[in-house]
Amino acid sequence: MADPSTSDLVRDAAGGDQGAWNQLVDRYSRLVWAVARGHRLAHADSADVFQTTWLRLVEHLGRLRDPEQLAGWLSTTARHESLRVLRLGRRERPDDDIAGARESNDPGDAGPETALLASEERASVGAAYTRLSERCQGLLRLVVAEPGLSYANVARALGIPVGSIGPTRGRCLEQLRRLLDEQAAIT
């Protein structure tokens, strides 16, 4: 049996179906997380953006203009919330009980790039990725999180012109490949 369409899941969730909601969460969590982390937010701030985005969807389930375009709605919402949290500034949350992962030596705490560097040895792709420009990192992360995202939605989520998405994507992949080749040559 084919997977249910996103608009079917939205309709069922709006009608009170927790199972449909869970499927939406499973389908699009990577994307929402990628947008937050793509804004170089620390772990706890990314967690807030992630949660706020899903909470906002709960209230908007019956109000989406085009439920099939949920990926676009989620990535735009997560971007707006990321910008807010960036403006709020880095916060100290000594009594933070949300994030069990907030140990002082948690590599995720300092931001996504640090977490990736920690994985450098086990994954050369990670090492090459961290040497890409910020724009390439953000773009590739979105593409792998949700390959179905339209150019327009990628542009909106990253805040860059839609016309530059195609050429930038090609250039980023080329750079990544070159960096991997370089690494292979010196090891």
Partner 1 sequence: MSDFDPADRELLAQVREMFDEADPVPEFLLDAARATFSWRTIDAELAELTNDSLLEGAAVRAARVPRLLTFTADVATLVIEVAEHVRGAGIGRRLLGQILSPRPAEVDVRHAAGTWSVTADEFGRFRVEEVPPGPISLACRFGGATQPQLVTSWVTI
Of 121, 120, 126, 132, the residue nearest 175 (C-alpha): 132
C-alpha distances (whole Å) from 159 to each of 73, 139, 140, 152 are 14, 11, 14, 10
Which amino acid is present at 80? H
Kindly report the length of the chain.
187
Residue 27 C-beta: closest distance to partner 1, Å? 11
Q: Which is nearer to partner 1, 67 or 108 (CB)?
A: 108
Residue 168 C-beta: closest distance to partner 1, Å? 12
H/E element holding 62? none
At 84 the three-state DSSP class reads helix
Residue 156 C-beta: closest distance to partner 1, Å? 13
Q: Which is nearer to partner 1, 73 or 141 (CB)?
A: 141
Residue 163 C-beta: closest distance to partner 1, Å? 14
Residue 3 C-beta: closest distance to partner 1, Å? 16
At 136, give phi and psi (nearest 5°).
-65, -40
C-alpha distances (whole Å) from 137 to each of 13, 15, 28, 68 are 33, 38, 19, 27
